[in-house]
Chain A
Amino acid sequence: MEIGLTHFLVVSTMVFLAGLFCVLTRRNAIGILMGVELILNSANLNYLAFSRYSSVNYDGQMFAIFVIMLAAAEAAIGLAIVLGIYQTFHTIDVEATDTLRL
């Protein structure tokens, strides 16, 4: 069977589901960030699949590069916040950091 658009879309769906599971079940803040990165990767895979199979220009690849750039910024800020949380609370369990909760 010819490998086509839907094959890549199904792969990206599976990566998305793994990332969603990671975000839903982890209480470790770094684990949640890794889940977010999986989700961003699945979105990138979709961009590139549509860029290859249903367009004639490189717009999808440009967007994928911008997504990678924003993911780098997000990881830097997110991990800095995690380190700050660790210095304040001495844990990175996101359920322990509920100081603002009433």
Chain B
Amino acid sequence: MTEFSMFPVVFYLMAAITVGSAFGVAFTNNIFYSAIALMFTLLGAAGLYVMLAADFVAVVQVFVYVGGILVLTLFAINLTSRIGDVSVSNRSLGRFPSFLVLGLIGYSMVRAIRTAAWNVVEVGDPVPTIEAIGDAFLTQYILPFELASLVLLAALVGAVVLSRKELKEVRG
């Protein structure tokens, strides 16, 4: 019972971390600070995934996003921007029209969320999902699973080819 009353507290904490650092990613001028804020967004989202009884997805999120994609992003930032360039992030669309677009989309989305009659079922206690997910990967989802490995292989080769430096010398 005491755990049940903690649920809203933890939810609002995780939601505050996620949303606050997401807007940090959007609004800070330094691209490096954006990447650090992105880390907190991803970790907060992983916490929300745990609250949604998705333990395996939360672990995958931490491994792949925080351990992989974020490190890759930091590498790219350090490889591309010169020191004086780090804080340069000039805007393509002005802030005011962006806020207009955001306000319109956000208003309509929140309104839709609040008014739609969602089909909600009774939620049970959270149970470990790893066994069910592993079974599903090798039975019902075997074709997407194998295709995913092909996509990852193609992405690996493509990334190597795209970022190779001496393309001209090799060809000539």
Binding site for B on A (CB under 8 A): 1-11, 13-22, 24-28, 30-31, 33-35, 37-38, 41, 44-45, 48-49, 51-56, 58, 61-62, 64-66, 68-77, 79-84, 86-87, 92-95
Contact = CB atoms under 8 A, between A and B. Distances in A.
Given A45-B49, A73-B151, 4 more contacts: A24-B93, A30-B80, A45-B48, A80-B162
B92 A24 contact: yes
Contact of B64 (A26, A48, A52, A68): A68
A52 B156 contact: no
Given A11-B19, A53-B121, A76-B159, A25 B76 contact: no
B64 A34 contact: no
A interface secondary structure, majority: helix
Contacts of A80: 158-160, 162-163
Interface string B8-36: 10010001001100110111000100110
Contact of B23 (A18, A48, A75, A95): A18
Given A31-B89, A83-B80, A38 B22 contact: yes
B129 A61 contact: yes
B48 A8 contact: yes
A25 B34 CA distance: 13
B72 A26 contact: no
B38 A73 contact: no
Interface string B64-79: 1100110011011101
Given A3-B11, A20-B101, A75-B72, A48 B54 contact: yes
21 contacts: A11-B15, A15-B45, A19-B26, A26-B91, A27-B89, A27-B92, A28-B81, A38-B25, A44-B61, A45-B45, A48-B52, A58-B132, A62-B137, A66-B148, A68-B57, A69-B151, A72-B64, A79-B73, A79-B75, A80-B159, A84-B163
A30 B152 contact: no
A81 B76 CA distance: 10
